Amino acid sequence: MGIEIFSVAVMILAFFAVFDLAVGVTNDAVNFLNSAIGSRVASFVVIMTVASLGILAGVTFSSGMMEVARKGIFHPQFFTMPELFTIFMAVMLTDVLLLDFFNTHGLPTSTTVSIVFELLGAAVAASVIKVVYSSDAFGVGDYINTAKAFAIISGILLSIVVAFIAGAAVQFLTRLLFTFDYETRLKRYGALWGGIAMAAITFFIVIKGAKGASFMTSDAVVWVKSHTVFILVAIFSISAVVLQAVMKLSRINILRIIVLIGTFALAMAFASNDLVNFIGVPLAGFNAYQTAVASTDPLNIPMAALNQKVHSQTHLLLLAGAIMVVTLWVSKKARSVTETEISLGQQEEGMERFESIWLSRTIVSMVDSCMGAFKGLLPKRMRALVRKRMDPRRGASTVTHGSQPSFDLVRASVNLMVASAVVSFATSLKLPLSTTYVTFMVAMGTSFADRAWGLESAVYRVTGVLTVIGGWFMTAFIAFVVSFVFAGTIHYLQAPGVLLLMSLAGFIIWKNHQQHKGRIKEKEETKIFNLKKIKDAPAAISNTFEHLAYLLKEIRESLDVTFDALFTQDVDTLSRQRRKIRQIQLWANIITANIYKVLRLLQKEDYKISYKYSQTTRRLQKLSDGHRDIILRSYVHLSNKHKGLLPVQIEELKQIKACIVDILQKVEDTFHQKKIVDYQNVIDQYKSMRAMAELFHENQIERIRNDTSKTRLSILFYALIGNSVMLAKQNMLLLEIFNESFQLDKELSKSYFTVDTN
């Protein structure tokens, strides 16, 4: 293979660099945006602008990190240029596919862990091939930079523990100082606290990171390091004075300034630490190509030149930063990745994304026991003081229900300051620890210290954390294995192998894109159930019944399709309806959570309305349970190849189906039209349906006696009729709640409903 083909390979690596920048920023945007977005510190445009400026500043500090891709995992002097291109091609293909997969599913993973283990997997594959076909006395371990690789991996794993403990400790002390009702105390010593925060950020990002900055001369670095104390004191003093002046001369909350500066800082730390993950490998490939072309034997010369320090050009780093900024603004997948961290750290109880598992329950039980024993060692007066200052309800009055963020500005500022400090310090040591690990674990530590993980939510939050961490370890395993396989494929198939893998990657990315569009559509449908007027109880109740109308419509259409599929024994259609169960259950849970939020307002206004309105949750649960049971029983019966319904059973169930579908339609129309009606016709229809069900039960008993209906078929038949009657009853009771709730409050009825006197 001639040297000319590798010029094409360089261009392919350049293309991968651009694409990897896009998918990488999409995944890692969650790291520096979540605190600002979760606390609603400013408008979305302002937050994005600040983060963009931080990225552009941070890329110029990443020059020293580029050495990791060239010599951090393997010894380049033992490889030739074609062998290195095999490694680099495999790494970039794997990285693009892996990150795009996680982005599609809205899961934050570590770009650092992925690139490190991809380099390790591909390098091990190339080393095994060299050992097998070479007569040298080298082993696989001789080709791998085991000491550096172990240091990098250890740093990544250690960062999980350090970030959680640091976040929890700093947040606990900060909350003790400010409490949740922080505005008064902020005026007293907020400027001093802000000065400390600004000094810490300056120390870790500017002073510790100066050595890796592409624009810093050696003399400038020496001067900065020799005047560390002076710079720290100056930054602290200037920041404290400026922040104090801002508080005195304006009504600006200085925590907003600190959070925005922290967003800038963490975006800067992300860019300086993680840019190597996206362009380090292509740049190393370009350096290898330049070295080979300049030699007399380009295909066989050892790549010892990659061991030398190379100072990256600032304009190339800024170009990469510009691509990252554009992606940050236009990527829809970046929005999908931000939800997990916010949901696991939100202060308010609500819908939990994860279910509890035995391990999370065990961990919560152990921690609760340990905390109980520790509390017993503290004096009662100290426990009472800590409990008082850590009470989240002290700050509840400062934020209305409708605009309440996931967490307040105090926690947001600690999240950003601690995370940026840890990441920047690691960057200065040239340890490419995971920005995702650090920011996520800092956020979990601060939420834990802030008592966001109460007994009502702890098991779900711990499950979420375990799920995310488990995904991180899977990232390492998948990255190593896939990169190993890709490197072997490229080595043996060469150029056709690269084209084959690129075609496969293109197809998988297209499929991921289609799947993500479906997830976005489902998410948009879920937004229908969000309460927008939670401050206004009457409007919120009105919206609840409007949401119920949408839910009843989905249940009606689903049941209509399910019965028809059961009659015709269409397993594929039932399988699609089975997948729809999760969506309807989610919608029902969201409406239930909304009802509880409204009840907190109604308890102070009208007990009778609160009681009637609260009954909606019971009816809602029974509706979703009945819908689920009908679909699952039908699907399991057909998928197990049991005997289909008898013709006479189908005719009877068609009558039951017509009744329940008609009742659902009537209740749905009532809720949509928001008319208080005389629902006697629904009651009569329900009674008629019960009588019909009793007759069909008698018919079924006769079929059991003459052995025309087997046991499993009889169980299915009874369950379908019983669930249908139960669903009809719940709809009748919902109409009763609808009418009586608003007849108890005439003003409510006049404002949001009309009374049908016909």
Specify whether the CB–CB gap between 543 and 533 falls below 8 A.
yes
Specify whether the CB–CB gap between 441 and 167 falls below 8 A.
yes
pLDDT of residue 684: 87
The per-residue pLDDT for range 300-333, each reduced to its tens digit, is 888 877 777 655 666 777 888 888 888 888 776 6
Query: How many CB atoms are located within 10 Å of the residue 554 CB?
Result: 17
Specify whether the CB–CB gap between 212 and 427 falls below 8 A.
yes
Q: Any idea which of 122-131, 207-216, 392-401, 424-433 has the lowest mean pLDDT?
A: 392-401
Tokens of 596: 């509880």
> One-letter amino acid identity for 103?
N
Q: Which of 212-216, 407-411, 643-647, 752-756 has the highest mean pLDDT?
A: 643-647
Say which DSSP state 646 is in. P
pLDDT band at 627 (very low <50, low <70, confident <90, very high): very high
Q: How far apart are CA 274 and CA 30, in angstroms?
A: 13
Tokens of 441: 């674990």
Tokens of 538: 């009457």
Spatial neighbors of 585 by CB under 8 A, at least 6 apart, are: 624, 628
Q: Is the pLDDT of residue 390 over 50?
A: yes
* C-alpha pair distances (Å), 513 with each of 358, 480, 634, 700: 35, 24, 33, 50
The per-residue pLDDT for range 544-560, each reduced to its tens digit, is 778 888 889 989 999 99
Query: What Rg, from alpha-carbon coordinates, does the chain have?
Result: 31
Region of residue 660 (left: phi > 0; alpha: psi -120 to 50; beta: else): alpha
266 CB-contact burial (10 Å; exposed 0-12 / middle 13-18 / buried 19+): buried
The per-residue pLDDT for range 116-131, each reduced to its tens digit, is 888 888 989 988 888 8
Bridge partners of 302, per DSSP, are: 80
Q: Are strands 754-755 and 675-676 parallel, antiparallel or unpaired?
A: parallel
Which residue would you say has higher pLDDT here, 103 or 205? 103
pLDDT of residue 721: 93
Spatial neighbors of 103 by CB under 8 A, at least 6 apart, are: 23, 26, 27, 333, 334, 336, 337, 512, 516
Domains, in order of start, for the chain? 4-519 (no CATH), 530-755 (1.20.58.220)
Q: Which of 143-157, 375-389, 501-515 has the highest mean pLDDT?
A: 501-515
Q: How far apart are CA 475 and CA 480, in angstroms?
A: 8
The overall average pLDDT reported for the chain is 78
pLDDT of residue 632: 92
Stretch 343-357: mean pLDDT: 61
pLDDT of residue 748: 45
Nearest to 478 by CA among 489, 468, 486: 486
Q: Is the pLDDT of residue 521 over 80?
A: no
CA angle 156, 161, 164 (to 5 degrees): 115
Tokens of 414: 């600690």
Sign for the CA dihedral angle at 89, 92, 95, 98 comes to negative
Specify whether the CB–CB gap between 131 and 140 falls below 8 A.
yes
pLDDT of residue 310: 57
Bridge partners of 676, per DSSP, are: 755
Tokens of 558: 């689903």
Nearest to 395 by CA among 383, 385, 409: 409
> One-letter amino acid identity for 537?
A
Stretch 42-52: mean pLDDT: 86
Bridge partners of 80, per DSSP, are: 302
Q: Any idea which of 365-369, 482-486, 565-569, 655-659 has the lowest mean pLDDT?
A: 365-369
Tokens of 69: 């891709």
Specify whether the CB–CB gap between 201 and 425 falls below 8 A.
no
Nearest to 346 by CA among 403, 405, 387: 405
Nearest to 327 by CA among 110, 17, 9: 17
Q: Is the pLDDT of residue 355 over 70?
A: no
Q: How far apart are CA 114 and CA 440, in angstroms?
A: 16
Q: Is the pLDDT of residue 379 over 70?
A: yes
pLDDT of residue 719: 92
